[in-house]
Every structure is written in structure tokens, then in C-alpha cells.
Amino acid sequence: MSISNLGIAGAGRMGAALLKGWANARAGGFSPKVTVFEPHLSPDIQPVLKALDASVNPGLAQPLDVLVLAVKPQTFAEAAPGLKGFVGPDTLVLSIMAGTTIAKLKSELGARRAVRAMPNTPGAIGKGITAYAASDALSEADHAQISALLSPLGAVERAPDEASIDAVTALSGSGPAYIFLLVEAMAAAGEAEGLEKGLAMRLARATVAGSGALLDASPETGADALRQAVTSPGGTTAAALNVLMAEDGMTILMTKAIRAATARAKELGA
């Protein structure tokens, strides 16, 4: 990647995951000068900063090749004035802040080239997925750089346009919470059938985690093939799926949930 000067604002869970990924990429020739903007650095991140030979909170502002924004969206307005001097006409601004539009990135930082990305929380362990949308001023080489920069968080997808990011936020950005709720609901249902509370939770957690790993490892193109493989006609799984796949079952509930989350994302972006 032809990046000489790379900055990142924010070193929380996602920011730290990116920094660790970039440090690991040093062995493959990834060697830009890294600048970190973070007033409250965790002691855990210090070895990573040392491995990157990163500078922290520099006083002298000069334009960067890339500035990654990993701060909380509610703190962006406060942070923007201090970051603006690091954004030049050719700086690529890559934001992973929820609900912050490309137009806002341009207006607050004077950026011409801006990217809005939406990761999810499994990115903190490199198992997430991030979708992004970019302004028109980007080249295909820029898109390759974006994918490489975000890859420490997991898979990277290019969205067709910024309008799609609200649905991305609702599906994959908020999606881990839906899975965690599924675990809670399964454990509670197991308790209702007489299982001890701790056992029910362990069974639910392991079932969801193992199913996710199986889905990830499967060459099948769709989850439906795996679902059908575990469902014997007239068996216990089929009895449960008759409830979950009813007209008022899981599909309609999830559709309503993601529609509500998409609508809220649009409101926050506005």
C-alpha cells in the first residue's frame, strides 16, 4: 500500500483492533508512519504503539495520506477542530463512526475524499464484517487501500452507495445484539422446560457459537442448506421450525426489527 503517513483518531476497541492489525502487517511490508490521536490511551495498547513506532497526539499539524476516525460519534464535533489541520486536499478520511455522513465529514474536516464505513463488534477479535461507501473522488487503488486498512477487523464489503449504509447498520452493525438476544431467549426457553439456569445458558452459548463456526466453514452458499441438513421430517427440529417459520414467526419479526433499526439510522444521520 502506498501510504506514507497514516493517522487514527481513537484507540478504543475498534481503533485498537486496527492498530494491532497494522502492527502485524509490518512483517508483510506495511510500514507507513503512524500517528495516533487519543487523550486516554490504555496501557494494553502501549506495546502495539511501540511496535508501530507510532507518534501520539502530535502538536504540529501536517496533512496525512489517510486519517481513520474511530472516535465515538458524539465526540466528533469536539475532536474535529484539532484534526482538521491533518486533513489536506488529498487526504483520504476513513470513518467508522456510526451515523456520521460523508457530507458531515467533508464539512467538518474540509475533506475532499471521504469514506463512511460500518464495522461490527466482532471486529474487535478480527471476526467482524465491515461495509463501506465512498465519495466519488476515489480511485480503484483507493478502494484496495481501504479494504487493506479495514481487513484487521474481518471481512470487508463495498456497498453500492452511502444510502445503503443505513441498512448495513441495521443488519450487520446492530446484528450481534440480535444474536446475543437469541442466546438469552434460547437459554430462558430451556429453563422453562426444566433445565438448570447455568446449564441452559452454556448449552445456548455453545450451540450458537458452534453453529456460527459451522456456517463460516461450510462451502454451502446459503444457510438454508445447513438448516435443511439438521431438520428431519417429523422430528423435533421440524416441530420447532413450524413455529419459528410461521407467518408471524422469526422472518417477519426480524424484518420489522431491521426496518426499525434502518429508520433510526436514517434519523441519526439526519
Domain boundaries, the chain: 5-164, 175-269
Grid look-up 462451502 returns: 219
More confident residue, 181 or 222: 181
Above 70 in pLDDT, residue 32?
A: yes
Q: Identify the pLDDT of residue 162.
A: 93
CA distance 201 to 185: 9
Of 160, 178, 170, nearest to 259 by C-alpha is 170
DSSP H helices in the chain: 13-24, 46-52, 76-83, 102-109, 140-150, 164-168, 175-192, 197-217, 223-229, 236-244, 250-269
pLDDT tens digit sequence for 115-156 = 999 999 999 888 999 999 998 878 899 999 999 999 999 999
The pLDDT tens digits for 160-211 are 999 999 999 999 999 999 999 999 999 999 999 999 999 999 999 999 999 9
Which cell is 171 given? 443488519
Q: How many CB atoms lie within 10 A of CB 121?
A: 17
In this model, does residue 157 exceed pLDDT 80? yes
Is residue 220 predicted with pLDDT exceeding 80? Answer: no
- Identify which of 49, 17, 22 has the alpha carbon closest to the alpha carbon of residue 36: 49
Q: What is the DSSP string of 7-52?
A: EEE--SHHHHHHHHHHHHGGGGT---EEEEE-SS--GGGHHHHHHH
CATH superfamily assigned to domain 175-269: ProC C-terminal domain-like (1.10.3730.10)
Q: Residue 26's pLDDT is what?
A: 82
* Residue 166, C-beta contacts closer than 8 angstroms, at least 6 positions apart: 262, 265, 266, 269
Q: Between 143 and 220, where is the model more confident?
A: 143
The CATH superfamily assigned to 5-164 is NAD(P)-binding Rossmann-like Domain (3.40.50.720)
